[in-house]
Chains A and B, each alone.
Chain A
Amino acid sequence: MGSIRELNQQLLTKERSAVEIAQAAIDRIQALEPKLHSFLCVTAERAIEQARQVDAQIAAGEAIGLLAGIPIGIKDNLCTKGVPTTCASKILQNFVPPYESTVTQKLKVAGAVMVGKTNLDEFAMGSSTENSAFQTTANPWDLTRIPGGSSGGSAAAVAADECAIALGSDTGGSIRLPASFCGVVGMKPTYGLVSRYGLVAYASSLDQIGPFARSVEDAAILLGAIAGHDPKDSTSLKVEIPDYAANLKPELKPGLARWRDSRNLWRRLGGCG
């Protein structure tokens, strides 16, 4: 599918339209899902409609952001207005949220194209995605193995190129573990960096939303898009968000020690503990 910057370039040079990119992702999902089971719900129509809007913006000569037209998978414990949000639990099987989570709202505004809701261990409780009430996701590297959990659907979908990037949640390793098992990049941000508004709560003092990607740069771009203070989450931190992807260098910079003065940040911010 390509990296975020590659896809963005294709859109800007009109090599491919956002609808073509979205359709390619949906075709791949339909071809692989019988083996992988990473998605609980594929939002094909909605994706094409979102992509059409991005194409209209490009046609009108409007500037688009890096995430515009990028296919993304969303863990099914993040509330999406009008789209079922089940937490892979029978108890929420028919739940359609009347509101949008802050992170998915931010991605919507950025023009990212949601292709579907990804599988997880029920209420994010598990390390293999086998605790889903609906299906067990396979590891793209060996279909007889588990993808890790609890964000196993998001990790498998990114590893199998069903979408370029995905969102997960991490309470005790639920992003990093499946990222490790599926050979992709997964990040849990500092508690409070990303708003939890609209994330179905498991353990509120530990839960944090974060990105999955096939490269560090893509993870940095996605993190930058979802991070930031949100008055709707009382544990959200009031901090400035740097452009994480802007200054990535292929070498280790000397003088990283300038960061050290942040040692007591927690206390200053009045964070947990």
Chain B
Amino acid sequence: MIRETFGEGLEGAVEEAVRKAIEQFASMGAEVQEISCPRFRYGLPTYYIIAPSEASANLARYDGVKYGLRTEEADNLMSMYTQTRAQGFGAEVKRRIMVGTYVLSAGYYDAYYLKAQKVRTLIKQDFERAFEQVDVLVCPTAPNTAFKAGERTEDPISMYLTDLMTIPVNLAGLPALSVPCGFDAQGMPIGLQLIGNVLQEEQLLQVAYAYEQATEWHKQMAAIE
């Protein structure tokens, strides 16, 4: 289990369900160890530099020329580009393109993008050290359960925090899965995240399968009113 994922901001019901799942693994013969990934918490800021950087480059292709939307209002090429993109992209996509373009720009590249790439390596090293001691890492998939529609749309940071536990895995390129491990008081599902070493999908699925077969959570189906 990753110590750093059981800190502040974790909903009580999620913590309880995940700790019970860990007890379940122990009762099945797993040797449970608490592991520290001290750089885990830098995953979120690192991701929000690297991902928008790549997005700003990848999304440059939507210029109204090759495919997709093209504005009909423009009277010259530059205004066609800018108006097509202004009309075609939503607010979050624009935010990430702007962040990405900013952190890649001359003068800021070293301070942000290059630094983020270095931190990415440190996060990967945390995982490498962890996998010298254990086969599979376990933590909550998210710090909370599903929230109400509209609750976090005005506050991008609170929305980004939902991915706190999943992002470091992408930065390190590792396999991971979420498997149902309980419900909160409102009846909303809780997920258990299992993280494996590079290319250990077979082992990861085996561990998840053994847990699933020992529990009943996956048998419950949503009753849609």
> Which residues of A pack against B, CB within 8 Å?
32, 35-36, 89-95, 121-123, 125-128, 130-131, 133, 136, 138-148, 159-161, 170-173, 175-177, 179-193, 201-206, 208, 214-217, 219-220, 223, 227, 237, 239, 242, 244-245, 247-254, 256-257, 259-260, 262-263, 265-266, 269, 271-273
Contact = CB atoms under 8 A, between A and B. Distances in A.
A144 B92 contact: no
Report, nearest first, the 10 A-B pairs whose CB atoms are least far apart. A180-B191, A173-B166, A91-B88, A183-B189, A191-B173, A180-B141, A140-B222, A187-B177, A203-B54, A203-B51
Contacts of A262: 197-200
Given A142-B186, A172-B170, A190-B199, 13 more contacts: A125-B93, A141-B146, A160-B224, A180-B193, A185-B178, A214-B218, A215-B218, A216-B218, A252-B28, A263-B131, A263-B197, A265-B198, A265-B199
A91 B209 contact: no
Given A93-B69, A190-B201, A248 B209 contact: yes
A273 B171 CA distance: 9
A201 B58 CA distance: 6
Given A92-B67, A131-B92, A259-B135, A181 B177 contact: no
Contacts of B220: 183
Contacts of B131: 260, 263
A129 to B, nearest CB: 9
A67 B135 CA distance: 30
B146 A181 contact: yes
Given A144-B149, A190-B175, A215-B212, A125 B55 contact: yes
Interface string B63-94: 00001110000000000000011011111110
Interface residues of B, number: 96
B103 interface: no
A128 B159 contact: yes
Interface string B185-225: 01111110100011111111111111011100110111011
A188 B176 contact: yes
Contacts of B88: 89-91
Contact of B197 (A128, A159, A259): A259
Interface in B146-174: 146-150, 152-153, 159-160, 162-163, 165-167, 169-174
A219 B198 contact: no
A89 B186 CA distance: 33
A141 B222 contact: yes
B128 interface: yes
B39 interface: no
Contacts of B141: 173, 176-177, 179-180
Contacts of B58: 201-204
A158 to B, nearest CB: 10
Nearest to B43: A172
A186 B54 contact: no
B210 A173 contact: no
Contact of A180 (B142, B204, B208, B222): B142
A141 B58 CA distance: 35
B191 A176 contact: yes
A254 B28 CA distance: 10
Contacts of A144: 148-149
B25 interface: yes
Contact of A185 (B148, B188, B208): B208
A34 to B, nearest CB: 11
A231 B97 CA distance: 30
A263 B165 CA distance: 22
